[in-house]
């Protein structure tokens, strides 16, 4: 796959599809999850959230999808808007009905159900007709051909990569405009990661599906993303296009190159001011 930044085939509108403004999150009203996070996902784009484990990537996605309450978390400050409208007070299922689907970290599947039964569950939220449901299922099988071959197999007996495809496919069954995708490459072989990210890129380019993608594997994320934000300790410390971030020496050292045991945190107190230059 070329390292060049992908073009955005669906030109973003001035108003982003999803916008977080100065969002702060607390867990159990004590533990700080996010500190003043501001980001935007234009329609028709892939936006990557980069950061180490615990940086706040999953918290950002769950704030956007209204799933924080499952972990005793809450947004205590800031605003989240979808199509310019506040999402405050909306339940997770209402966001799904409005075109937002989240794929949780960890390849969550119903192991005792078949692959196809897992996929069909994702389509029922919109109460589609039989023809519409069949068409959605065919689109998933077209994007992930492996799933067609194992559709009658129990999901718990499929490979990790196939389970990740099931999780993504189940989200796609709801015909989302925006997918919040959490750590899709975790624990998977490189060839499977490539297949999944090729699917993400095709869904974006051919179907106009937008993605907010949380990922530790910056190399693969920056190959498909149009824009990226770097999170550390619940704060956004850097942002820019994929090309801009790949070109930075600090990002190269921390994410794309040096992996030695003496690697320093991306941001430390003595260098914090340097990274306050977050690109507008």
Angle of CA points 41, 255, 213, to nearest 5°: 25
Tell me if 235 sits within 8 A of 59, measured CB to CB: no
pTM, 2 dp: 0.84
Distances, alpha carbon 211 to alpha carbons 58, 83, 90, 110, in Å: 14, 15, 20, 24
32's CB contacts (< 8 A; 6+ apart) are 24, 25, 26, 234
State the pLDDT confidence band at 95, using cuts at 50, 70 and 90. Answer: very high
Token representation of residue 35: 């500190």
Q: How many residues does the structure list for the chain? A: 280
pLDDT digit string (tens) for 16-75?
Answer: 999 999 999 999 989 999 999 999 999 999 999 998 888 999 999 999 999 999 889 999
Reading the block at residue 124, the tokens are 């029922």
Find the mean pLDDT for residues 216-230. 92
Domains of the chain: 18-99+176-276 (3.40.50.300), 108-175 (no CATH)
d(CA 149, CA 176): 24
């Amino acid at each position: 796959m070329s390292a060049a930044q992908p073009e955005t085939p669906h030109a973003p509108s001035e108003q982003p599809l999803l916008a977080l403004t100065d969002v702060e999150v607390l867990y159990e009203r004590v533990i700080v999850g996010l500190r003043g996070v501001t980001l935007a996902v234009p329609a028709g784009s892939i936006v990557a959230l980069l950061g180490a484990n615990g940086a706040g990537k999953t918290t950002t996605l769950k704030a956007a999808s209204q799933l924080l309450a499952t972990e005793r978390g809450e947004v205590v400050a800031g605003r989240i808007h979808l199509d310019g409208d506040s999402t405050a007070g909306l339940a997770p299922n209402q966001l799904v009905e409005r075109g937002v689907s989240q794929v949780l970290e960890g390849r969550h599947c119903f192991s005792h159900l078949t692959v196809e039964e897992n996929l069909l569950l994702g389509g029922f939220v919109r109460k589609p007709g039989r023809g519409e449901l069949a068409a959605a299922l065919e689109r998933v099988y077209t994007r992930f051909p492996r799933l067609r071959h194992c559709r009658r197999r129990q999901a718990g007996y499929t490979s990790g990569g196939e389970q990740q495809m099931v999780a993504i496919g189940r989200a796609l069954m709801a015909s989302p405009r925006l997918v919040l995708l959490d750590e899709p490459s975790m624990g998977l072989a490189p060839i499977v990661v490539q297949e999944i990210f090729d699917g993400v890129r095709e869904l974006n380019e051919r179907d106009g599906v937008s993605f907010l993608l949380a990922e530790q594997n910056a190399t693969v994320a920056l190959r498909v993303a149009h824009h990226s934000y770097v999170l550390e300790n619940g704060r956004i410390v850097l942002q820019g296009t994929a090309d801009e971030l790949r070109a930075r020496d600090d990002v190269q050292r921390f994410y794309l190159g040096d992996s030695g045991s003496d690697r320093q945190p991306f941001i430390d107190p003595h260098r914090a001011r340097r990274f306050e230059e977050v690109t507008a």
